[in-house]
Structure 1
Amino acid sequence: MSIDTAKGILGDATIAELEAGLRGRVVRPDDAGYDQARAVWNGAHDRHPALIVRCAGTADVIRAVEFARSQDLLVAVRGGAHSIAGFSTCEDGIVIDLSPMKGADVDPDGRRVVAQAGLTWGDLDHETQAFGLAVTGGLVSTTGIAGFTLGGGVGWLLRRHGLASDNLTAAQVVTADGRVVRADRQEHSELFWALRGGGGNFGVVTSLEYQLHPVGPQVLAGLIVYPLEEAQQVVTGWRELTRSMPDELTTLVNLTTAPPLPFLPEEVHGTRIVVLAGMYAGDPAAGEAAVGPLRTLGTPLADLMGPMPYTGMQSMLDPLWTAGAHNYFTSAFIEPSDAALGAVLRHHLRTPTPYSELHLHQLGGAFARVPAEATAFSQRDPGMLCNVIARSPDATDFDAYVAWARTAREEIARHGHGAIYVNFTGDAAEDKVRASYPGAVHERLVRVKDTYDPTNLFRLNQNIRPSTAA
């Protein structure tokens, strides 16, 4: 059956020719598995691509890119498919699906791993923790490694070892013209600079090489839960503690609603709470002194901070972040003044659903010691990152929930310099992209875009438009 697209009609023979050149497979709209294949983690994006190419390897990616270019198709690239902004799916275009590509080659002596782009953080942690090694990964283990890393990569090892992108040592990339290049500090060095924070603007990254670090298998990590009435003292007290925390300890505050979990008193289920979460990336015994003050900021409703497997902390939040719900994220880098924290706490009182949250991520440490010009991720001030999340089980009133998040972000962002974290942003807005890649950084990214994707084939991202399209 021929397929209509916005650019014309793809005939059976054309699609058959594509499929004949693949080791993977093509999923068409009339195939039995199409609805499953087109679904992404974020249920807010219900789109119908004309074709989904499930790639078995780099050769399939090359073929898919060449086909998309020859047929003038809109291109979405999918790794883990969390798709906060919907970039890993599209209407009436082609999805280049990397999820079958799950190889990982760990070099324990050199503390390196070469990881294919279809891996999730749960997959990669499984491979590297066999050797007691890790790199900064996602806060939810079902997150894909590729999109996470290309946008920066904030996780529990941020203060000890920096962003995921700070630990990227090389990447294999299929460019818009179908070439395969290796980008590192020696080869295609400008592309390598751009990949570390510039997102998927420059090609399809098929594998990533990371520097690994000794972590685990046991770490000191977990949650401490406080009641709403102690929110101000807990959050301001936490801020003061962050000024002198060791780099081994990375923490965040989650302003949320208490789920009906057995470790929480039944009377607080469904009420607003304050959760301190953190991980000490060092000797768990030495970490007790560092996390001890977190326990004294108020009267804990629950204290789940203790020794646990590193993979346990990496996947602890998974049950609360299952696929299919509607999600909208927006973010701001802020200075944690009293006024800024007050704005965050006010919007906590206005969260529109029990699933909507505000997160305050501690920065600093190794993250802040990377020179701003070293990578495309240039927001290195040791302040905080606020993530505002509107989340709902379905589409009912979701637009109103998104409006709450946008209003909250607008007020909170006044206490920073206007930049977003591109991985925590549900809008593709040029003004926010410009704010996140200021001045010379944006100009340099445009030059890289001009070199590797001058026609903007890869535009489903926080887009750096080439100069010909500016």
Structure 2
Amino acid sequence: MSIDTAKGVLGDATIAELETGLRGTVVRPGDPAYDQARAVWNAAHDKHPALVVRCAGTADVIRAVEFARSQDLLVAVRGGAHSIAGFSTCEGGIVIDLSAMKGAVVDPVRRRVVAQAGMTWGDLDHETQAFGLAVTGGLVSSTGVSGFTLGGGVGWLLRRHGLASDNLTAAEVVTADGRVVRADARENPELYWALRGGGGNFGVVTSLEFELHPVGPQVLAGLIFYPADQARQVITGWRELTGAMPDELTTLINLTTAPPLPFLPEEVHGTRILALAGMYAGAPEDGEAAVAPLRTLGTPVADLMGPMPYLGMQSLLDPLWTAGAHNYFTSAFIEPSDDAVDAVLRHHAMSPTPFSELHLHQLGGAFARVPADATAFSQRDAGVLCNVIARSADGTGFDEHVAWARAARQEIAGHGRGTMYVNFTGDAAEDRVRASYPDAVHERLVRVKDAYDPTNMFRLNQNIRPSGAS
């Protein structure tokens, strides 16, 4: 059976030739596995690719890239498949699916791990915690390691050990012309610089090497819930505390709606609430003094901060972020002035659904000490990352929810420089990507794009357009 693509028709013989060169499999429309193969975590993106190539290793990735180039197919690269902005799927093109590539090799002596690009943070944490080691990972364990890292990587170890991308020591990349290159501080150093914060622009990353750090297995972590009528005093009090917090402690404020969970009093279920989350990345007993002031910012509704396994904290939010809902995430780097707090509180009060949230993620510490030109991630002097999240379980009212998130982000971003976290831009908008990099950084990224992907084959990302592309 031939397949229509956005560029033409693929015949059976052409597809069969692709299949014979793979150790993995090809899934096409009409196959029993097609609907499952094309689905991504974020149900807001319901696309129908012409082919899904489930790669078993780097050789399959090379073959898929060569095939896509020869047939002039639109290319989507899938790792963990969260696909917040829809980049890991496409209409009428080819999905290069890395999700079966889940191997990892941990070197506990050198404190390094080499992870294949299909791993999620749950997969990788499982491997590294066997040795009492970790690297900054996602706040939801189903997040893909590769996409998270290439856009920066904000997590609970940020203030102690920096971004995930700050800890990336090397990567294997299949380029647009089918070459396999290593990028590290010595070999292809400009590509290495660009991979750390420049997104998935420069090729298919098939494995990543990280520096690891002693973390866990027990940490002091969890949530403290405050009622919404105390939100202003809690946020402003938290803001004053952040300047003196030790680097081991990373915190986040989530303005949300109280879920109907047994650890919260029944009378607050369904009401607006503030959750102060945090993790101390040292010995739990040493963290008690650091988190004590967080307990006195108001009158807590529930205090769930205490010793727990690091793996428990890494998966604590998973039940709230299951696959199949419609999601829209956008963001702004801001300074938490009184006016910024006013804007955040106002938009929280206007949120149209219990699943709409605003996060204020504390920065600083090791994150801020990385030299501005060391990586492509450039917002080192920001005080807070504000994430604005709209979510609908079944898509009902989703357009309204997205409109709320965009309006909230637009106003809140005015309390910073207008820049955003490239993993959470909400839309594939090149002007927003351009605004999020200083001129010199963007020009350098374009030069790297010109060198490794001059035709913009890998454009389903927060795109850095090569100089020769229209």
Instruction: Provide the TM-score with structure 1 as the length reference.
Output: 1.00
What are the residue-to-residue correspondences of 1:268-417 with 2, within 5 Å? 268-417=268-417
Q: Output the amino acid matched with 1:436.
A: S
SS of the equivalent of 1:105 reads: strand
Report SS of the residue matched to 2:73: coil
The answer to which of 391-400 and 317-326 deviates more is: 391-400
Residue 243 of structure 1: how far off its partner (Å):
1.0
Alpha-carbon contact 1:328-1:425 (below 8 Å) kept: no
TM-superposed CA distance for 1:407, in Å, is 0.3
CA-to-partner distance for each residue in 1:27-59, whole Å, 9 max, x for gaps?
A: 011100100111000010000000000000000
What does residue 96 of structure 2 align with? 96
Per the alignment, residue 151 of structure 1 pairs with 151
Using the alignment, how far apart are the partners of 1:237 and 1:358 within structure 2?
A: 18
Q: Does 1:110 align with 2:102?
A: no
Distance in 1 (alpha carbons) for counterparts of 2:426 and 2:231: 27
Say what the alpha-carbon RMSD is for the aligned residues: 0.5
Find the aligned partners of 1:438 and 1:97 in 2 and give their Cα distance: 32
Moved >6 Å (runs of 4+): none
Counterpart of 2:14 in structure 1 is 14
Counterpart residue number, 1:443:
443
What is the aligned partner in structure 1 of residue 166 from structure 2? 166
Helix, strand or coil at the partner of 2:374: coil
Counterpart Cα distance in 1 of 2:18 and 2:390: 40
C-alpha displacement at 1:106, in angstroms? 0.1
Aligned residue for 1:124?
124
CA distance in structure 2 between the aligned counterparts of 1:347 and 1:243, rounded to whole angstroms: 26
Whole-Å separation in 1 of the counterparts to 2:397 and 2:355 = 14
The answer as to 2:83 corresponding to 1:83 is: yes
- TM-superposed CA distance for 1:435, in Å, is 1.1
Task: Provide the C-alpha distance between the structure 1 equivalents of 2:165 and 2:79, rounded to a whole number of angstroms.
Answer: 16
Distance 1:14 1:458 in 2: 22
Which residue identity lines up with residue 218 of structure 2 in the other structure?
A: Q
Question: Cα deviations across residues 322-360 of structure 1 (Å, max 9, x unaligned)?
Answer: 000000011000011000111011111011110110000
Distance 1:325 1:425 in 2: 18
| Equivalent residue, structure 2, for 1:64 | 64
Instruction: Write the letter of the residue equivalent to 2:413.
Output: A
Deviation per CA, 1:432-470: give whole Å up to 9, x if none. 111111200000000000000000000000000000025
Structure 1 residue 278 displacement after superposition: 0.3
**2:225 & 2:205 partners in 1: Cα distance?**
39
- Give me the whole-angstrom Cα distance separating, in 1, the residues matched to 2:41 and 2:239: 33
In structure 1, what residue type is equivalent to 2:332?
A
Q: Hey, what's the Cα distance between the residues in 1 that align with 2:430 and 2:466? A: 13
Tell me whether 1:30 sits opposite 2:30 in the alignment: yes
Paired AA for residue 276 in structure 2: L
State the match for 2:465 in structure 1.
Answer: 465
Report what 1:220 is aligned to. 220
**Within 2, Cα distance between the matches of 1:27 and 1:431?**
35
User: 1:354-411 CA distances to partner (integer Å, 9 max, x unpaired)?
Assistant: 0110000000000000011110001101410000001001222211110000000000
SS in 2 for 1:205: strand
> Is the aligned partner of 1:205 residue 2:205?
yes
Worse overlay, 427-436 or 42-51: 427-436
Q: Post-superposition shift, 1:431?
A: 1.4
Please list every run of 5 or more consecutive structure 2 residues that lacks an aligned counterpart in the other structure. Answer: none
Distance 1:335 1:80 in 2: 31
Aligned-residue sequence identity (percent) comes to: 85
Check conservation: 2:6, 2:91, Cα contact below 8 A: no
Question: Secondary structure of the residue that 1:131 maps to in structure 2?
Answer: coil
Match of 2:237, as an amino acid? G
Asked if the contact 1:85–1:426 (Cα under 8 Å) also holds between the matched residues in 2, the reply is: yes
Residues 360 and 385, structure 1, Cα contact 8 Å, conserved in 2: yes
2:239 aligned with 1:239: yes
Amino acid at match of 1:465: R
